[in-house]
Amino acid sequence: MLDSNFWNNQENSSRVINKLNSLKSVVGDISSLNNEINDLSVMVSDEVDLDTQKLIEDEYIELNEKLNNLELLLLLNGSYDRNDCILEIHAGAGGTEACDWAMMIYRMYQRWCDKKGYKYELVDFQEGDETGVKSVSLVVKGLYSYGYLKCEKGIHRLVRLSPFDANHKRHTSFASVLVTPILEDDINIEISPDDLKIDVYRSSGNGGQGVNTTDSAVRITHIPSRIVVTCQNERSQLQNKEHAMKILKNKLRLIEIEKKENELNEIKGEQKNIEFGSQIRSYVMHPYSMVKDHRTKWETSDVNAVLNGEIDKFIEAKLREDVNEV
């Protein structure tokens, strides 16, 4: 940061500052926990009154929880765990029901990011025909955002009494979540213009003045890999194209890394159809309340808390399971 040219590159300087602040937070938490443990050890003696004993027990429970949270950082030691990431949500078959469920998941991750202090930038938002969202993509920025969110990739299943069914029958909906890391170094990928199909269209969804009045949204299809990237969040077509190309290059670079290192399953995860039997997690709101992860068997009856972003226990269970498997 003391380099005279540090502030010339705003994107790089912002990334470095965010990383510095995150690392300072980790170091601060460790230092604070160490001091609290030392303070507690002074309180412990052979003979204490009941009030002091209760205070020590409460402090111990609180410190144990803090230590547990710090231990999770030891599990985030993958090649890309420290990186920012691209989070994509796609509604499964089922029309309105699936689009509404995809929107619910989108809000869940927004609230989780807010709780973690992560910033997120909306890249693409395709509204459902009647309600909800068909697909949404956002960039999540923050130390270890990929390390945590990689545990969420897969099919998410919802069971509830449908608010869109006049007979109020129970419906099952599906949505897929895909998470890919953003590489921090310069992405040096050569792409032939002949390999690209570029479409422009009118932006949709929530936005400021000018939305739905100009063809500023951009969809880029990389023909050889069949990767499709869309961006409509920027104000101009040129900016959207630049952003979409950056994401495309990131994805192509990841594919090259996967080929060289044989890490396809680790980076992209196993691709499954968005249908019954392929889900990683079920959110049941009727006839009982339960959210259960089918990989780790972790579950809770507080569905509303989970949909409000309380997913850390599910992430922790998955991280610990992955370590045990190794």
User: What pLDDT, in 10s, does the model give residues 84-123?
Assistant: 999 999 999 878 999 999 999 999 999 999 999 999 999 9
- Say if residues 220 and 235 touch (Cβ distance below 8 Å): no
Residue 209 has pLDDT above 70, yes or no: no
Given a contact cutoff of 8 angstroms between Cβ atoms, the answer to whether 122 and 88 are in contact is no
What's the first-to-final CA gap in the chain, in angstroms? 38
Strand 279-284 relative to strand 227-231: parallel, antiparallel, unpaired?
unpaired
Low-confidence winner among 50-59, 195-204, 212-221, 238-247 (lowest mean pLDDT): 212-221
Average pLDDT estimate for 310-322: 95
Mean pLDDT in the chain? 87
Would you place residue 277 in the very low, low, confident or very high pLDDT band (cuts 50, 70, 90)? Answer: low
pTM of the complete model: 0.75
d(Cα 191, Cα 241) in Å, to the nearest integer? Answer: 14
CATH number of the structural domain 85-185+269-325: 3.30.70.1660
- Give the architecture-level CATH label for domain 193-261: 2-Layer Sandwich (3.30)
Does 29 have pLDDT greater than 70? yes
Name the pLDDT band for 150 (thresholds 50, 70, 90).
very high
* CA–CA dist 179, 154 (Å, integer): 9
**How many angstroms separate the CA atoms of 94 and 78, rounded?**
36
